[in-house]
A and B are shown apart, each in its own frame.
Chain A
């Protein structure tokens, strides 16, 4: 079966750095997406990786290793507004997104 694993919850301090991991086993691979979802709101697109390596976008970076079935989202200089759930999703061989259950990130002052 297809499976996406990510931690249920993480806590970090304002101004610090946090890494959210995602491991996957899917039927084929056509890219990995990270979305941010604030409580009661819609998921919003953060990043996309299809090749191995690091993609940097401001305070957020996303890394992919296809051979290991592994990705992480790195958030730097954490702000209170970064408190949200972070969703990892893999596009399978049928171009359908398989979603993890999300990681709830709690930022403490």
Chain B
């Protein structure tokens, strides 16, 4: 029962580099989400997806790109990393938009 997994768990990169964070869920949930969590802020939604090939922007989408070619995977790409993107990134999934969201273990990203 893997549930929802993220990789890598930790990543250090430099400004200007492209970084991809992976998210995989085994529940066949329709909805998947990407959040970032920073001290002093609540979780902030970056992008979400209602199904394969359907994605939409959240509160803070600038500088990020997502895709969802398969139901179980929802990668998040930082096209040109900036220091302000240093954060903890959580992926989550839910059966539908009204249901409880379940979170992956997170990826800690440091941009130097």
Of A30, A31, A87, A95, which one neighbours B43 at CB under 8 angstroms? A87
Describe B's contact surface by its main secondary structure.
Answer: loop
- A44 nearest CB across to chain B (Å): 7
B98 contact from A30, A45, A89, A99, Cβ within 8 A: A30
User: A-contacting residues of B (Cβ < 8 Å)?
Assistant: 40-45, 48, 58, 90, 97-98, 100-106
Kindly state whether residue A91 has any CB partner on chain B within 8 Å.
Answer: yes
Closest chain B CB from A7 CB (angstroms)? 14
Q: Are B103 and A44 in contact (CB under 8 A)?
A: yes
Q: Does A11 contact B (CB under 8 A)?
A: no
In the complex, residue of chain A having the shortest beta-carbon distance to the beta carbon of B105: A42
In the complex, what residues of B have CB within 8 A of residue A45's CB?
Answer: 100-102
Contact at A48–B100, with CB atoms within 8 Å?
Answer: yes
Number of A residues, CB within 8 Å of B: 21
Q: In the complex, what residues of A have CB within 8 A of residue B101's CB?
A: 45, 97
Neighbouring B residues of A43 by C-beta, 8 Å: 43, 90, 103
> Number of contacts between A and B (CB, 8 Å)?
41
**A81-106 near B? 1/0 per residue, CB < 8 Å:** 00000010101000111111110000
- Asked whether any CB of chain B lies closer than 8 Å to the CB of A4, the reply is yes
Question: Interface residues, chain A, CB within 8 Å of chain B?
Answer: 4, 30-31, 33, 41-45, 48, 87, 89, 91, 95-102
> In the complex the two chains form, what is the Cα distance from A48 to B102 in whole Å?
13
Among B43, B48, B97, B106, which residue has its beta carbon within 8 angstroms of that of A99? B43
A102 CB contact (under 8 Å) in B42, B103, B105: B42
List residues of chain A with CB within 8 A of the CB of B105: 41-42
Residues of B contacting A48 with CB < 8 Å? Answer: 100
Asked if B58 and A96 sit within 8 Å, CB to CB, the answer is yes
* Interchain CA distance A45-B102 in the complex, whole Å: 7
With both chains docked as a complex, state the minimum distance between the C-beta of B5 and any C-beta of chain A, in angstroms: 11
Q: Determine if A100 and B103 form an interchain contact, defined as CB atoms under 8 angstroms apart.
A: no
Contact assessment for B42 and A99 in the assembled complex, using a CB-CB cutoff below 8 Å = yes
One of A30, A91, A101 near B40 (C-beta < 8 A):
A101
Quote the shortest CB–CB distance from B75 to chain A (angstroms).
18
